[in-house]
């Protein structure tokens, strides 16, 4: 069990806001508008070009799948994964799903153990990500052990049933996102790692970025991730159909087993259980710490998450630092030059492999060109004076690139990504002084509704936009009306229905999820929390300086006394001393300094975690306070736990 205080900290971090594998009950169905039918029908010429090659790739090498409809959670709180839910994604595209997205989702829903080469196998459809298994001389080398302990354990069990009851000899993390390391305890124990029997290999900077990317803004990111991943939506034609890069996110337990072996430069190799593996570092691309790898003996290349069966996000909708599309393309160029002529197989950490040297090289070149075109043309139009929204309306991939299924926007989109490139270079400000200091959303909405003639007039204009098939304008009008009058039930239901139509026609899985989740919340007024559990070991792996950073952004200035004070934090078991100053509504901390402090708190690190998480200060000789003892409870009272259910689609 996770201690209450630790759970409270985990709620702060929200590193993964996982959607339930089977989903929640669906809202009352809306009728499909003719504009939605027309938009989806317009995709038919694209679907007519499907030659079945991706289906053949997704099915190639199938061995077997799980023999039960679900993988249970370890805590008994329902399923960690539902195969029966995925089995709803089959057959012809329903009228409530963009047919291009449905095609992608059907491919991603295929689940089981697959043979890639004589020594390389994958478990797909057990998680949003893919577990790759290499047969060593005596055991398994596991690459990217999924998101949750439960799904990773099941994947390994399936492999052992069909490939032999082999031990795990090494684990590799390709990058620092939780869906590629969170299930590590499902394939290896801490004792095996600590003893050195099983090395855990990761790219330079992995541990820092694995715990840092979402810490400071974790609460806001976690709430927005509920929209991105469609947490409250059921799996099926009216709800979630995939995540674009994988079928769904699991629920279950996320752990962090820190790496024991760090790759620090491109070209480094490791011999793992008789298998030689070469690594290419690609920092600052899809993840801040990431690496590709090449298995020469199998002529097999993995491009980690730098190449997927879809365009990825340059700026993920849940929020993050903007990624570097130019650097992303440059590393694909390096991979093509370094490994293209030596590779007959390309595997992905999401989706299915590709076979044949010509096919591998063509894929890398085309995927590279898509990111390079996105970057270069967004910057070109930016330099001509267009702002992000204008670039998004203007820019499309050239037909030769857009015709490739793996360049389509099932996860990231050209519209969203071009705005991200603009933001990376130019920031939020458009350059127009009218955008310097506009009214905040609610005040702006109230003024616009009045200016448009009042609520009844805005409703009439929105209905006219719907009749004209302009749901984008209807959504804008109704959004302002809902912000101006959050209690206007009619406006909320009309906006929900409009969002649902936009979701049903979206080719991007994330756009679909965000539209449909907004509709769900507008109709029900409820927020469905994620159910993935971040274990205490995850927090134990976080450097104390990062924990203090997380506290600093939760300090409530009004709770601090007028006079500054200092606190020395001593953690003997960790060999750490931190000097903390509270003043001017700011918390500043330094490590390793020995400055005198108004109070000194000495305690084990685990006790400090409990204390800052709301578990209270433990009693006993392990805790000592010297100096002004009253400052310790005052310090612990300064911080707030932000609400995990703040509104997004309306403001009360």
**CATH (domain of 609):** 3.30.1050.10
Tell me, yes or no, whether 250 lies in a domain. yes
Residue 293 buriedness (CB in 10 A; 0-12 / 13-18 / 19+): buried
Do 390 and 486 lie in one domain? The reply is no
Helix (H, G, I), strand (E, B) or coil at 81: strand
Residues 490 and 614 in one domain: no
My answer on whether 374 and 448 are in the same domain is no
Structure tokens, 414: 């050209």
Please indicate, yes or no, whether residues 142 and 274 belong to a single structural domain of this protein: yes
Which has more confidence, 400 or 17?
Answer: 400
Residue 439 included in any domain: yes
pLDDT at position 29 is 59
In a domain, 113, yes or no: yes
Regarding whether 268 and 295 lie in a shared domain, the answer is yes
Q: Is the pLDDT of residue 24 over 60?
A: no
**In a shared domain, residues 493 and 373:** no
CA 259 to chain centre: 21
Length of the chain: 652
> Can you read off the two tokens belonging to residue 117?
């080469």
Q: Is residue 16 part of a domain?
A: no
Which domain, by its residues, includes 492?
A: 435-524
Which tokens hold the place of 162? 């069909």
- pLDDT averaged over every residue in the chain: 92
**Are residues 151 and 91 part of one domain?**
yes
Q: Give the chain's domain count.
A: 3
- Residue 163 belongs to a domain with what CATH number? 3.60.15.30
Residue 580, in any domain of the structure: yes
SS3 content of the chain, % helix, strand, coil (to 5): 40, 15, 40
Show contacts of 456-460: CB within 8 Å, 24+ apart: 458/491, 459/490, 459/491, 459/494
Nearest CA among 117, 275, 121, 304 for reference residue 202:
304
Do 97 and 141 belong to one domain?
A: yes
Q: How much of the chain, in percent, has pLDDT values that exceed 70?
A: 94
- The reply to whether 34 falls in a domain is no
- On the question of pLDDT at 536 being above 80, the answer is no
Q: Is position 531 within any domain? A: no
Taking only the tens place, the pLDDT of each residue in 586-639 is 999 999 999 999 999 999 998 998 888 777 777 777 899 999 999 999 999 999
Token pair belonging to 267 = 């070209």
Q: Both 397 and 351 in a single domain?
A: yes
320-336 core/surface letters (b: 16 or more CB in 10 A; e: else)? bebbbbeebbbbbebbb
User: Are 76 and 204 within one domain?
Assistant: yes
- The per-type count for the chain, helices as H runs and strands as E runs, is 24, 23
- Give yes or no: residues 487 and 579 share one domain: no
Query: Which residues are paired to 300 by β-bridges?
Result: 295, 345
Identify the H or E element spanning 25. Answer: none
Domain final position from 375, 401, 424 = 424
The per-residue pLDDT for range 93-149, each reduced to its tens digit, is 999 999 999 999 999 999 999 999 999 999 999 999 999 999 999 999 999 999 999
Same domain? 223 vs 305? yes
Out of 373, 399, 424, a domain closes at 424
Sequence-distant (6+) residues with CB within 8 A of 157 are none
3-state secondary structure 286-353: CCCCEEEEEEHHHCEEECCCCCCCCCCCCCCCCCCCCCCHHHHHHHHHHHHHHHHHHCCEEECCCCCC
Which SS3 state, helix, strand or coil, does residue 164 take? coil
Which pTM was predicted?
0.94
* In the chain, % of residues over pLDDT 90: 85
Residue 648 counted as domain residue: no
138-191 pLDDT tens trace: 999 999 999 999 999 999 999 999 999 999 999 999 999 999 999 999 999 999
DSSP reduced 3-state for 176: coil
Question: Which CATH number fits the domain that encloses residue 506?
Answer: 1.25.40.880
Burial per residue of 397-408, b for 16 or more beta-carbon CB atoms within 10 angstroms, e otherwise = beeebbebbbbb
């Amino acid at each position: 069990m996770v201690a209450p205080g630790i759970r409270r900290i985990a709620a702060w971090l929200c590193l993964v806001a996982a959607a339930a594998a089977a989903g929640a009950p669906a809202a009352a169905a809306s009728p499909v508008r003719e504009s939605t039918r027309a938009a989806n029908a317009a995709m038919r010429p694209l679907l007519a070009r499907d030659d079945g090659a991706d289906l053949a790739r997704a099915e190639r090498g199938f061995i077997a799948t799980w023999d039960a409809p679900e993988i249970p959670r370890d805590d008994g709180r329902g399923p960690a994964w539902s195969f029966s839910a995925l089995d709803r994604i089959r057959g012809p595209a329903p009228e409530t799903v963009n047919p291009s997205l449905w095609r992608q989702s059907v491919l991603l829903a295929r689940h089981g153990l697959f043979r890639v080469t004589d020594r390389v196998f994958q478990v797909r459809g057990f998680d949003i990500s893919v577990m790759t298994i290499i047969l060593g001389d005596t055991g398994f080398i596991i690459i990217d052990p999924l998101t949750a302990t439960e799904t990773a354990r099941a994947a390994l069990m399936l492999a052992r049933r069909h490939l032999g009851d082999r031990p795990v000899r090494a684990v590799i993390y390709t990058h620092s996102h939780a869906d590629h390391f969170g299930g590590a305890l499902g394939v290896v124990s801490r004792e095996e790692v600590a003893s050195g029997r099983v090395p855990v290999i990761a790219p330079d900077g992995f541990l820092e970025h694995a715990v840092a990317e979402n810490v400071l803004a974790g609460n806001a990111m976690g709430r927005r991730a509920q929209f991105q991943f469609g947490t409250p939506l059921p799996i099926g034609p009216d709800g979630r159909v995939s995540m674009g890069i994988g079928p769904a996110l699991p629920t279950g337990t996320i752990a962090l087993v820190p790496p024991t072996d760090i790759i620090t430069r491109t070209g480094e190799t490791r011999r793992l259980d008789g298998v030689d593996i070469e690594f290419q570092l690609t920092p600052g691309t899809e993840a801040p710490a990431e690496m590709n790898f090449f298995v020469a003996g199998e002529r097999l290349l993995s491009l980690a998450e730098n190449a997927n069966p879809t365009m990825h996000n340059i700026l993920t909708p849940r929020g993050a630092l903007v990624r570097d599309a130019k650097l992303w393309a440059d590393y694909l160029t390096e991979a093509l030059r370094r490994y293209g002529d030596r590779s007959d197989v390309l595997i992905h950490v999401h989706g299915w492999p590709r076979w044949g040297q010509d096919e591998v090289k063509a894929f890398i070149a085309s995927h590279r060109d898509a990111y390079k075109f996105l970057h270069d043309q967004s910057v070109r139009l930016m330099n001509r004076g267009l702002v992000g929204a204008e670039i998004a309306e203007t820019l499309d991939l050239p037909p030769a690139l857009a015709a490739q299924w793996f360049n389509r926007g099932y996860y990231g989109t050209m519209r969203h990504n071009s705005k991200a490139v603009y933001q990376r270079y130019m920031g939020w400000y458009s350059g127009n002084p009218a955008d310097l200091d506009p009214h905040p959303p609610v005040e702006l909405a109230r003024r616009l509704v009045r200016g448009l003639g009042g609520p009844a007039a805005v409703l009439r204009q929105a209905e006219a936009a719907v009749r004209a098939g302009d749901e984008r304008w209807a959504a804008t009008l109704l959004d302002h009306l809902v912000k101006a009058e959050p209690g206007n039930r009619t406006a909320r239901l009309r906006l929900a229905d409009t969002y649902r139509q936009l979701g049903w026609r979206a080719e991007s899985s994330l756009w679909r999820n965000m539209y449909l989740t907004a509709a769900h919340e507008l109709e029900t007024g409820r927020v469905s929390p994620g159910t993935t559990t971040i274990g205490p070991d995850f927090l134990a792996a976080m450097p104390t300086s990062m924990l203090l950073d997380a506290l600093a952004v939760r300090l409530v200035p009004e709770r601090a006394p007028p006079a500054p004070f200092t606190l020395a934090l001593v953690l003997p078991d960790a060999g750490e001393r931190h000097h903390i100053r509270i003043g001017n509504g700011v918390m500043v901390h330094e490590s390793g300094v020995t400055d005198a402090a108004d109070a000194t708190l000495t305690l084990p690190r685990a006790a400090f975690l409990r204390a800052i998480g709301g578990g209270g200060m433990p009693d006993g000789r392990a805790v000592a306070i010297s100096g002004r003892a009253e400052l310790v409870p005052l310090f612990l009272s300064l911080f707030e736990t932000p609400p995990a259910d703040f509104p997004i689609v309306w403001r009360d």
